[in-house]
Amino acid sequence: MKLLKSINFHLNEKELINIKNVNICYFACLLLVLLINIVLNYKESAHVWIEIIGSIIQIAIPVYVLVPVLWKKDKTGAIQMIKMLIVILSITWAFKLGLSQVFGISDLRPRGGTMSFPSGHTSGAFSGAIFMSLRYGWKYALISLPLASLVGFTRIYSLAHWPIDVIASIILCTISGFLLVKKYK
């Protein structure tokens, strides 16, 4: 608690406790999932581990978003998040299922396969992170934005996507967020 107070974000005591509890819950869930994966996949290489970590975080961020939405009983925020996810996933899959070819964008993955553009994992992660920062302020996004960036990095590092796939996903989420998310009052 003293560490959080020493970082002066101009938060009152109640906000500090809320952010601390949310972050503790988030990291506890993340560590539990990581431990389960370690037990189940202990023979895998580091390359595979990085991809697994990215996949876990991609799911954990939208779950992390639910905590303040439920805590604040923010029905409007829940509706905005659902709309944002529907729009982002619809556009992402429209491109993956053929729209990228209409625009002449290569959908070949670096390590082989298709449906590269845009990155679905990065879209999922950044949808939650962008929502948190726009709806509740940057203080709530201190955890989610770096973790979403880590998801993008893991997708490039594991050769699942080209950098342009990840960048396009981030741009898609940012534009969707500014169009669909309103600040919490």
Question: Are the CB atoms for 30 and 57 separated by under 8 Å?
Answer: yes
Sequential pLDDT tens for the chain (185 residues): 454 444 444 555 555 556 666 666 667 666 666 666 665 565 556 667 777 778 788 888 878 888 778 888 888 888 998 899 899 989 988 888 877 677 667 767 777 777 778 888 899 889 989 998 898 888 878 888 888 898 898 888 888 888 999 999 999 999 999 999 998 88
The ranges assigned to domains in the chain are 10-180
Q: How far is CA 178 from CA 94, 95, 170, 175, in A?
A: 21, 21, 12, 5
pLDDT of residue 144: 84
Question: Are the CB atoms for 74 and 102 separated by under 8 Å?
Answer: no
Question: Are the CB atoms for 56 and 33 separated by under 8 Å?
Answer: yes
pTM (whole model) above 0.75 = no
Question: Are the CB atoms for 123 and 169 separated by under 8 Å?
Answer: yes
pLDDT of residue 172: 93
